[in-house]
Structure 1
């Protein structure tokens, strides 16, 4: 069983946040090959601020196996500041009821490809936890951008998504922005508010 914790950097033990930056480096830099400017072994950017909310999944040995970053769109957020062209003709959101979801990962899917059913279950479960945390924060909609295949996977998980504009190339790969509708009631139980 996975443990899910949520909170901002100030609510986390420094060791947990440090483990998060190492996890993100392993996933996004080493495994996925993203060309991000960061120190070796730590992936952080200008959107990892004191007000940023993180949702983490940890296994029985307390190793991080999943992460997500949530930022309200009434403050600077990744899509709005770095990739606004992906929105096409659609205006960028700026609301406490719309949050950006970024840096989502479930390492169990990357580590255990042979066990696809348990990995699918864990990733779906974790995504629902992330949506539940966003709902608790007051979000009624999330905005995200990713490869088109990831948006389709979310729909297969039962997440209500809607593509905003046509895919565009980022670093020679197609990327599409999309809404994730949360609605009026949470779709997941709240995450535990543990810090360590």
Structure 2
């Protein structure tokens, strides 16, 4: 398995990966989780994909997309601030050039077969490690995210527990919440140890985190 960061300027180099990522998001968020998401054909695409995000994409040996996450700087629009601000509770809006948002994290459970003792798939650990490696390489300190209680449990089992901003809220069929996680060597080492990862997973490309 390989994990690749793809910035907006790289999209023309990886059209198949970008399309595969959007199709995976459709299968996970529309078909499996039944979320009310924006779609185009068999792809899940929303307004935040137009803000020049960086994608972290996991691919298998046949170059098929088996996992992905979307990263955006908190100095511009984010899902947390612009779509789900209620999940912050009474906390101030998180904006900093040392903080970014991760969203649309998903894994193709039908393709990612290897499962660790924690019950989590190799692709999950590799994506989490990739996000941490990316953040550390860009001198980031915190990642924020909007997620659900199911993925909160996954993060805890992966050795990277999330700190909630406020109690979960019921949004349609999802018990949603927002939180933040540290970008640190300790967190990365925890994920690598829990996932039995041997060293770095991210295939770095010489490009900065895109700003909105």
Match of 2:10 in 1: 11
Could you tell me how far 1:105 is from its partner in structure 2? 0.8
Structure 2 segments unaligned to the other structure (5+ residues): 193-199, 206-212
Describe the shift of the 1:120–1:93 C-alpha distance in structure 2 as closer, same or farther (beyond 3 A): same
Per-residue deviation, residues 30-67 of structure 1 (Å, max 9, x unmatched): 22211212212111111113531100000011000000
Confirm or deny: 8 A CA contact 1:69 1:104 kept in the other structure. yes
Match of 2:75 in 1: 74
Confirm or deny: 8 A CA contact 1:140 1:184 kept in the other structure. no
Describe the shift of the 1:115–1:124 C-alpha distance in structure 2 as closer, same or farther (beyond 3 A): closer
Q: Distance in 2 between matches of 1:121 and 1:37?
A: 27
Q: Distance in 1 between matches of 2:165 and 2:97?
A: 19
Match of 1:47 in 2: 48
**Stretch of structure 1 that moved more, 28-37 or 88-97:** 28-37
Match of 2:102 in 1: 101
Per-residue deviation, residues 102-130 of structure 1 (Å, max 9, x unmatched): 000121xx226986437625112321122
Match of 2:132 in 1: 131
Q: Distance in 1 between matches of 2:75 and 2:177?
A: 21
Confirm or deny: 8 A CA contact 1:96 1:138 kept in the other structure. no
Q: Distance in 2 between matches of 1:115 and 1:132?
A: 22
Alignment of 1:176 with 2:187, yes or no, is: no
Cα RMSD of the aligned pairs, angstroms, is 2.3
Alignment of 1:191 with 2:198, yes or no, is: no
Confirm or deny: 8 A CA contact 1:163 1:179 kept in the other structure. yes
Q: Distance in 2 between matches of 1:72 and 1:49?
A: 13
Match of 1:141 in 2: 142
TM-score (norm 2): 0.81
Q: Distance in 1 between matches of 2:110 and 2:81?
A: 32
- Secondary structure of the structure 2 residue equivalent to 1:144: strand
Describe the shift of the 1:121–1:30 C-alpha distance in structure 2 as closer, same or farther (beyond 3 A): closer
- Secondary structure of the structure 1 residue equivalent to 2:46: coil
Structure 1 segments unaligned to the other structure (5+ residues): none
**Stretch of structure 1 that moved more, 96-105 or 145-154:** 145-154
The aligned length equals 191
